[in-house]
Amino acid sequence: MENEGKWLLEEKYNGVPTPEYEQDLARLKAGEPLAYIIGHIPFLGTTIYLDSRPLIPRPETEYWVEQIIKDMPESPRVLDLCAGSGCIGIAVQSARPNAQVDFAEIDERHHETIRKNGGEQIYGGDLFENLTRKYDYILTNPPYIDPEIDRAEESVKAYEPHNALYGGEDGMELITRIIEEAPHYLKEGGTLVIEHEPEQAEEIARLATESGFACETKKDQYGTCRWSILKRD
């Protein structure tokens, strides 16, 4: 809490305490996430604004996105699916300036936030509903928390959007649909990357095989099985 208060003071108020700072400090003490109070968060060298209060980008997501970008060619066509703030696609654009990046986000309140962060091609609708292109990469951090397990902290439950957190029964409802529908939107040899709970890895591998993918599950920086790479033959 003390460190967060110092970060808030330096980042938003240039080290000068004001009445507004004291008000923000009270919000922080009440449990509101620091990133929402400041209004933005760093993500792989970019600044991600959170004006519409999308899901706050996590270090685990930052980790796997960085790994995937390392293997990308210079000019891929990429879809950031369930984009939220657009942090994944924005990071790709920053690292691969010649990439063509689309953003798909069902909650249109977040579209202006994505634009502010630097995204241009933004689509609404349910998952792939309004998309017609095929992509080299589909990268997604979908709602995947299993309500029965629910490791989310209380501040997350209280302040972050539930429709970006909870993935229905076993946390797998959207993940299942993404795996089943993605082959229609991937180029030959294309790659789908999904962030998920460790308990979901086995079912994701099974669904991947059924949909014609080779699947490899990877660990995050904390040693947790957190993301899977699905590749089309």
* Domain annotation covers residue 203: yes
At residue 193 the predicted structure's pLDDT band, cuts being 50, 70 and 90, is very high
CB 231 within 8 A of CB 190: yes
At residue 7 the predicted structure's pLDDT band, cuts being 50, 70 and 90, is confident
pLDDT at 150: 66
Q: How many domains does the chain have?
A: 1
80-122 pLDDT, tens digit per residue, is: 999 999 999 999 999 999 999 999 999 999 999 999 999 999 9
Query: What CATH number is associated with residue 191?
Result: 3.40.50.150
Report CA Rg, the chain.
18
CB 119 within 8 A of CB 103: yes
pLDDT at 1: 63
* Domain annotation covers residue 98: yes
Provide the CA 206 distance to its chain's centre, in angstroms. 23
In Å, the largest CA–CA distance within the chain is 59
* Domain annotation covers residue 3: no
* Domain annotation covers residue 1: no
* Domain annotation covers residue 148: yes
Q: Is the pLDDT of residue 135 over 70?
A: yes
CB 190 within 8 A of CB 137: yes
For 224, which DSSP code? -
Structure tokens at 196: 């998920």
* Domain annotation covers residue 141: yes
Domain of residue 176 covers 54-232
Q: Show the CA angle centred on residue 228, arms to residues 222 and 231, nearest 5°.
A: 150
Average pLDDT over the chain reads 92
Alpha carbons within 13 A on the beta-carbon side of 221: 10
Q: Is the pLDDT of residue 139 over 70?
A: yes
CB atoms within 10 A of CB 116: 17
pLDDT at 202: 96
CB 127 within 8 A of CB 104: yes
Q: Is the pLDDT of residue 2 over 90?
A: no
Among candidate residues 148, 176, 174, 151, the one with its CA nearest the CA of residue 163 = 174
